[in-house]
Structure 1
Amino acid sequence: MEIRRAEPEDVAAIRALVDVAYARYVPLIGKPPGPMLDDYAARIQDDLVFLFGTGAEFMAVLVLIEKDDHLLLDNIAVGPAAQGRGYGGRLIRFAEEEAKRRGFAEIRLYTHEVMRENIGLYERFGFAVTHRAREACYDRIYMNKKL
């Protein structure tokens, strides 16, 4: 398994993976989660998207965005068939290494409050809740980790 940068030809497969990974949250939130609405062609053009898998086949998507003083872990989506195998954790570790490589001492993220298993995963990797807020009609939990 490898982590590689996404290419323009990956957009349709990324969209499909994100949609299936987040579909179960739509009834809980009452609308599609933010990652289902992202413009992945633009994110790929901005060099923000990584894929986890083998060759052209991938099982997970990672989106990282540089901010002034931290790296934002914007999205991790693991396909349902690949969940529970440690791939999300591997991508978190990759994001942390990328943050260090780029000179950041902190990584941040946010998630919807109904995504409890994701919150637990992030906490197991050393992230701490910094605050909660309602933004863009989503009830979000913000977390960070000092590196």
Structure 2
Amino acid sequence: MGAGDRPRAAADAHRLRQGRCRAFVRSCRRGGRIVGMIETILADDHLWIENVCVAPDAQDRGIGRLLLERAEQQAIEAGRLELRLLTNGAFETNVSLYRRHGYVVDREEPFMSGVTVYMSKRLTG
């Protein structure tokens, strides 16, 4: 994350506390290009992770972990102690990544010819 993200992050935290902003997109840049991003939505009782992606040539370098940590920080700043997301069960590496970072499977539902995996993580304030 670039150093320029800090003032924006502080301003976003303020907007979150004031209830004026509900959706965010954060990016991670390396060498001037975006190599990862996370999209989150503030719900009444949790922070929803809508999307996480890391460029194929930037994977296995901790960027996904960094983005998830950013979401956790955002949730805590907003007074939410739970994060939720869903992923395609066919993407076993995604499910493994989330599990390694403390997410648990809440349920699995059939979807078309696959399975949607719903996951969550409780935070301590």
Structure 2 length as normaliser, TM-score? 0.76
Alignment correspondent of 1:131: 107
Shift of 1:76: 0.7
2:81 equivalent to 1:105: yes
Q: 2:55 aligns with which of 68, 79, 82?
A: 79
Give the Cα–Cα distance (whole angstroms) in 1 for the partners of residues 32 and 23 of structure 2.
Answer: 18
For these two proteins, the number of residue pairs brought into alignment is 106
Identity of aligned residues (%): 34
Tell me the CA shift for residue 139 of structure 1: 2.2
* 2:43 aligns with one of 49, 54, 67: 67
The whole-number CA distance in structure 2 between the counterparts of 1:92 and 1:50 is: 10
1:126 match: secondary structure: coil
Q: After TM superposition, give the deviation of residue 47 of structure 1 in Å.
A: 4.7
2:28 is matched with 52
Q: TM-score, normalised by structure 1?
A: 0.65
Q: Secondary structure at the match of 1:84?
A: coil
**SS where residue 85 of structure 1 aligns?**
coil
Q: Which has the higher helix share?
A: 1
Task: Give the CA RMSD over aligned residues.
Answer: 2.1
CA distance in 1, matches of 2:30, 2:78: 25
Residue 79 of structure 1 aligns with an amino acid whose one-letter code is: A
| Residue aligned with 1:65, SS | strand
Q: Which amino acid aligns with 1:82?
A: A
Q: Which runs of 5+ in 1 are unaligned?
A: 6-45
